[in-house]
Amino acid sequence: MGNTMTSERPRTAADSQPRTIVTAEGLTIHFPTRDSGETVKAIDGVDFAVRAGETFGVIGESGSGKTTLGRALVSLISPTNGRILHDGVDPAQLGRSAFRHHRRDYQIVFQDPNAALDPRMTILHSIMEPLEIAGEAAAVRRERAVEALARVGLAPETAKRYPHQLSGGQKQRVNIARVLTLRPKLIVCDEVVAALDVSIRGDILNLFADLQREFGLTYVFITHDISVVSHISDRIAVTYLGKFMELGPAEAVIERPLHPYTRALLSAEPVPLPSSMRTERRIMLEGEIPSPISPPSGCRFRTRCPSVQPRCAEEEPAWRELQADHWVACHFATPAGPPPPNPRRTDELAQQQAG
C-alpha cells in the first residue's frame, strides 16, 4: 500500500490484492459429546479470507456452524485442526500477555443484548469495562466511553442508567459502543438484530454501516436472515453442516446463486425474491438439517438436494472458483447456475409429501 512511489521494489501481483484481516485455513472445530463419546463436526474444513474494510456475510440454517465459526474468528474457541491468522499472525502461537494485547483487535457482538452487560454496572461503566481490561488509563477510558456513547446515538444521560432501564435496541447500541472503544480491526456480529423488534432492526443495521464508513471497520456478519445479509454484505458465504457451499460477491450470490442449497434458501424466503427467480417455482427445503455427528457422505446437502445425482453420495465436491471471486462446492454447478432439479428426485419428494 502506497509503496509504489517510494519503494524500488517492482510491483507484484500481491500488491493489488486487498489486505486480509482474518484468514481461515482448513479450519475445523469438533466438539466431543459428553455422554455418547461421539464428535460434533461443527466446522469441518473451511478456507476463506476476510478483506480489510469489507462486510463478510455468513448465512445458513440453524445448526450449520455459524456461531462456532464466529467465536473461532475472535479466538473464543481454538481450532481442532487448521488455523486462523489475524492479519498474518497466528494467535495460537502468542504468549499469554501478547495474546491479551492482540485480542482486543478482534471483537464480537452477540445476539442477546444482555449477554455482555453486567446488570449492576452503569452504562458508562459497561462501556469502559473492555478498556479497563485492556489496561487503559482511567482518563482515556472515560473520554473514549463518552465519545462512543454519543457515536452510537445514545443521549448523554444514558451514561448513568442501568441495563434494565434500556430497551433491547438501546442495549445493543451500548454493546456496539463497548467494542468501538477498543478500535478493533474486526467485529464479528452474531445475529445482532435477531432479538430486536423488527421496527428498529434497520436503524441498528444503518448504525453498523455508518460506523464502518467512519472508522473503516471490517465485519463478519452472521445471520440466518437473508434480507439482513443481502442488505449489509459485500460478500456472502453460505454454510451448511460445517462446510461452505458457496462464497461470492453479495449481489452475485443473491441474484445468480450457483449452489442448489443457496437457491433453495433464497426461494424459501417470502420476500424479496431476486429478479432472476421471480418466475421460478419455489424450491422448498425438505426435512431437517442432518446431524453434524454423522453428516451424509459425499456432498452434505445431497439428502435434501432437489438436483441430487448418484455421484453426490460417493464423492465430496471440490471447492471451485466457477466465476471470478465466486466459489462453489457442487459437482454439477456451472457458471450459468445450479444444476436443474433431478425429475426422479422431485417425484420422490412429492411422494414423501403425499405420504
Specify the residue, 216 or 287, whose C-beta has the smaller distance to ligand ATP.
Answer: 287
CB of 158 to ligand ATP, least distance (A): 30
Q: Which of residues 220-239 bind ligand ATP (CB under 6 A)?
A: 224
Question: Per CB under 6 A, which region of 56-64, 117-125, 167-175, 204-212 contacts ligand ATP?
Answer: 56-64
Is residue 295 at the binding interface for ligand ATP, with CB under 6 A as the rule? no
Is residue 66 at the binding interface for ligand ATP, with CB under 6 A as the rule? yes
How many other C-beta atoms lie within 10 A of the C-beta of residue 317?
Answer: 21
Q: Which of 28, 50, 57, 63 binds ligand ATP (CB under 6 A)?
A: 63
Specify the residue, 77 or 117, whose C-beta has the smaller distance to ligand ATP.
Answer: 77
Is residue 128 at the binding interface for ligand ATP, with CB under 6 A as the rule? no
Count of residues that interact with ligand ATP, criterion CB under 6 A: 13
What secondary structure does DSSP assign to 178-243, as a single string? Answer: HHHTT--SEEEEESTTTTS-HHHHHHHHHHHHHHHHHHT-EEEEEES-HHHHHHH-SEEEEEETTE
Distances 200 to 109, 173, 194 between C-alpha atoms, Å:
17, 11, 11
Residue pair 56/235 in contact (Cβ under 8 Å)? The answer is yes
Is residue 65 at the binding interface for ligand ATP, with CB under 6 A as the rule? yes
CB of 44 to ligand ATP, least distance (A): 10
Query: Which residues make Cβ contacts (< 8 Å) with residue 193, sequence separation at least 6?
Result: 172, 201, 204, 205, 223, 225, 228
CB of 351 to ligand ATP, least distance (A): 29
Q: Which of residues 14-43 bind ligand ATP (CB under 6 A)?
A: 31, 40, 42
Phi-psi region of 135 (alpha: psi -120 to 50; beta: other; left: phi over 0): left
What is the b/e burial string over 144-183, where b = at least 16 CB atoms within 10 angstroms of the residue's CB?
A: bbbebbebbbbeeebbebebeebebbbbbbbbbbbbbbbe
How many other C-beta atoms lie within 10 A of the C-beta of residue 203?
Answer: 14
Site string for ligand ATP, 242-281 (x = CB under 6 A): ----------------------------------------
Q: Which of 64, 126, 172, 307 binds ligand ATP (CB under 6 A)?
A: 64
Question: Per CB under 6 A, which region of 61-69, 102-110, 257-265, 298-306 contacts ligand ATP?
Answer: 61-69
List residues near ligand ATP by CB under 6 A: 31, 40, 42, 60, 62-68, 224, 292
